[in-house]
Structure 1
Amino acid sequence: MRQCVILVGGKGTRLGSLTKNMPKPMLNVNGRPFLLLLLETIHRYGFEEILLLASHANSIIYDYFKDLTFKNCKIKIIVEDEPLGTGGALINAYDYLDSTFFCMNGDSLIDGNWLAINQKLDDNCSAVIALSKTENASRYGSIELKNDYVIKFDEKTISKSSNLINGGIYIFRKEIFKDFELSQMSLEKDIMPNLVKNNNVKGTIIDGYFIDIGTPESFKEANSRDWQKANKKAIIFDRDGTLNEDEGYTYKTSDLKWKNGAVELIKYLNNKNYFVFVVTNQAGIAKAIYEESDMHKFHNKMQDDLKNMGAHIDKFYFSPYHVDANLQKYKKDSDCRKPKTGMLKKIQSEWNISKENMFLIGDRETDIECANNFSIKSYLYNGHDNLLNIFLEKIHE
């Protein structure tokens, strides 16, 4: 699945003067527009296209994002002629929608592995919704789940038997919207309840911090903590020989063969809200055996495989340098080439992770030396055993 649609057209009336002339998703959270935080999350999950469905004060969104690009990810802004609501916005954008796509509200996010809902979509349903648990569902209405199916979806009433709320993240089949005429309507009130009534919606509970900026209280809470990085742990993998078979300068997508338990471990870590990174020496680039673009294609293939399993790698770090390079621009003794620690320094700096929360898994002594040089814990993988079992039995605390 390549496309994620974000609903950014609401007026945010509950926030009063804050959103009088400002789209709610453009309000600053920890000094940056909330929508930018959403886009960064979506991008690291490997999506290729983001659609922003805008209405209220849309020129602010257009001016901010019209020239903004993420590597390998296109941003397209679709502006409504008049406010159409969350359901009408999707109908208005019908011609731009993929046959199956992710969709999310522009004012909320579950800081957890919401990609996991991808695995629930099958021939027996047309939509999947991410659900979050809360102690107080009074603001959010009622959702009930039975045998993976949503059996009640009511934005107005509260269920005494359920503490599940709409996490504001969905997967939809485009066909859902084909018979609607363009008009103002609500996704939550006019479309979803009918889909649920027809037993056409599945749900998945996602562990993670639920953030919502829709009220003054929740907006204040969102600004009270660095919720994206608060005390998260990071597992850092070497690539060739650890996550995938090492074919000797492995770069062809056809040569991608995952190690036993690698995909399962990454998904487990995603579900437990760990960061997952890769640090890899890529001397084949320096020696002109392949190009950086070939490596990126290989990484994209890894992300595609993972996404199909509801998993992802947060970022790949690589060193294309070597002292014996055939290409002059890569010929140097780089601080980023393991066992030196440049890539680990970047992870710590960019993601604000303490060393005690970083752990490296690799199959070579240079990986372990790199970890030791940076004073973080590590594990030397033998290249054969199941990685998930190793983590659960020997690493996980």
Structure 2
Amino acid sequence: MTRPTQALFLVGGRGTRLGALSANTPKPMQEIAPGVRFLDLLLENAARMGFADLVLLAGHLGDQVEAAYHGRRVGEAAIRVVRESQPMGTGGALAQAAEALDERFVLLNGDSFFDINLRALTAAPLPEGGGRLALRMVEDTARYGSVRLNDAKISAFVEKNPDLTGPGLINGGIYYLDRAMVGRIEAPSSIESDVFPELVREGRLEGLPFEGYFLDIGLPETLAQAQRETAALRVRPAAFLDRDGVLNEDHGYTHRVDDLAWMPGAREAIRLLNDRGYRVIVVTNQAGVARGFYDEDAIGIFHAGMQVQLAEAGAFVDAFYHCPYHADGKVLAYTVEDHPDRKPNPGMILRALKDWHVDKDKSFLIGDKPSDMEAARRAGLPGHLYTGGNLQALVSDIIGPE
């Protein structure tokens, strides 16, 4: 199974419950902090998980969405906008974008933020022609309506009803879908009320419960809550991880995907960090480039291979930083005395702290060499020496219980 890399966002709603707030500004483009829109948070989050094709399905005030986002990039991800010709509902908007769809893709509501590990949602194969919904447990389902789950299969959707109170699972507004199901959509329609019930009857719709911060901005009071809370969610603690000897077996200048062998518990450790909301940032010395054993493109291919295998475990790395320089290199361009990025120097860590929104006080580094520990010290981070064994156990000890 290939790793899905496409995420679509439904940003075409009129936002009538917001009243004058959404009259001239699309609901997902409401600011949550000066110069930061709610939609920015969603796009950044998808990009950090390796979704490189971000598609905005726009409708109401779609010209504003297109002007603000079409052709932009978020990290390594490219953004494009598909505008509906007329109001077509969530199902119709998806059907109109059918030609732009990958075989498997994630679809997210643009007016809610559910802080989950999207790779956990996409790890298992989908039912053919079906989908999988991210679900969330809430104390009172009256406002949302609820979802009934039988093992992994969704058995029913229960409409919101003020008389049906109490805890239960709700639709979190994030869907992992098979493109084949789009062929059954008639426009205009609602994917939630017209398509999903059909998939339930056919046994093709799964649900996966998640914990995590959840907020929709459909009401003035919840938009105000978003303005108080969600900008801070961009700032996350980071786990800085050395690569060879910590994540994968060190065969000496390891650079071929065929030679990738994971250390015990390494993928599970990354998954744990993902699920707990940490940024996972790899910082690795790669003197093999300076010594002429391989080039920087080979490093990128190796890291892409790591991401594919991590996705199979429901995990991901936010970013890779590598230092190709060495004082005793054979390739002149990479022969540098004491390069600031080469550990024990802290350059890679310092660049990552600048590039990403990181809560430094809660961050740490794991490495297997004294040079890793020294780099952490110089960057002002606690360093933890990995001496073998199960990496997930070490990470669990470091971050403690949830």
TM-score, normalized by the shorter chain, greater than 0.5: yes
Query: In 1, Cα distance between the equivalents of 2:361 and 2:100?
Result: 45
1:23 corresponds, among 12, 21, 26, to 26
Query: In 2, Cα distance between the equivalents of 1:282 and 1:97?
Result: 37
2:155 corresponds, among 151, 155, 174, to 151
2:65 corresponds, among 53, 61, 64, to 61
Query: In 2, Cα distance between the equivalents of 1:19 and 1:394?
Result: 44
Matched residue SS, 1:43: helix
How far residue 282 of structure 1 moved from its aligned partner, in angstroms, is 2.2
Quote the residue 1:48 is aligned against. 52
Tell me if the contact between 2:9 and 2:107 (Cα under 8 Å) persists in the aligned partners. Answer: yes
Compared CA separation, residues 135 and 156, structure 1 to 2 (3 A): closer
Tell me if the contact between 1:125 and 1:199 (Cα under 8 Å) persists in the aligned partners. Answer: no
Tell me if the contact between 2:140 and 2:167 (Cα under 8 Å) persists in the aligned partners. Answer: no
How far residue 155 of structure 1 moved from its aligned partner, in angstroms, is 4.4
Judge which range, 46-55 or 369-378, deviates more. Answer: 369-378
Once the two structures are aligned, what percentage of the paired residues are identical? 39
> What is the Cα-based RMSD across aligned positions, in Å?
2.4
Tell me if the contact between 2:114 and 2:212 (Cα under 8 Å) persists in the aligned partners. Answer: yes
Quote the residue 1:200 is aligned against. 204
Quote the residue 2:226 is aligned against. 222
Matched residue SS, 1:306: helix
Q: How does 1:370-389 map to 2 (within 5 A)?
A: 370-382=375-387, 384-389=388-393
1:315 aligns with 2:325: no
TM-score relative to the length of structure 2: 0.90
1:341 corresponds, among 338, 342, 346, to 346
Quote the residue 2:251 is aligned against. 247
Query: In 2, Cα distance between the equivalents of 1:339 and 1:99?
Result: 44
Query: In 2, Cα distance between the equivalents of 1:395 and 1:33?
Result: 31
Structure 1: which 5+ runs fail to align? none
Query: In 2, Cα distance between the equivalents of 1:125 and 1:386?
Result: 38
Quote the residue 1:190 is aligned against. 194
Matched residue SS, 1:11: coil
How far residue 70 of structure 1 moved from its aligned partner, in angstroms, is 4.2
Matched residue SS, 2:269: helix
Tell me if the contact between 1:43 and 1:73 (Cα under 8 Å) persists in the aligned partners. Answer: yes
Judge which range, 119-128 or 11-20, deviates more. Answer: 119-128
Query: In 1, Cα distance between the equivalents of 2:166 and 2:37?
Result: 36
TM-score relative to the length of structure 1: 0.91
Matched residue SS, 2:325: coil
Matched residue SS, 1:391: helix
How far residue 221 of structure 1 moved from its aligned partner, in angstroms, is 0.9
Structure 2: which 5+ runs fail to align? none
| Equivalences, count | 394
Query: In 2, Cα distance between the equivalents of 1:161 and 1:284?
Result: 59
How far residue 352 of structure 1 moved from its aligned partner, in angstroms, is 4.5
Tell me if the contact between 2:127 and 2:204 (Cα under 8 Å) persists in the aligned partners. Answer: no
Matched residue SS, 1:336: coil
Matching residue's letter, 2:178: R
Matching residue's letter, 2:252: G
Query: In 1, Cα distance between the equivalents of 2:154 and 2:166?
Result: 14
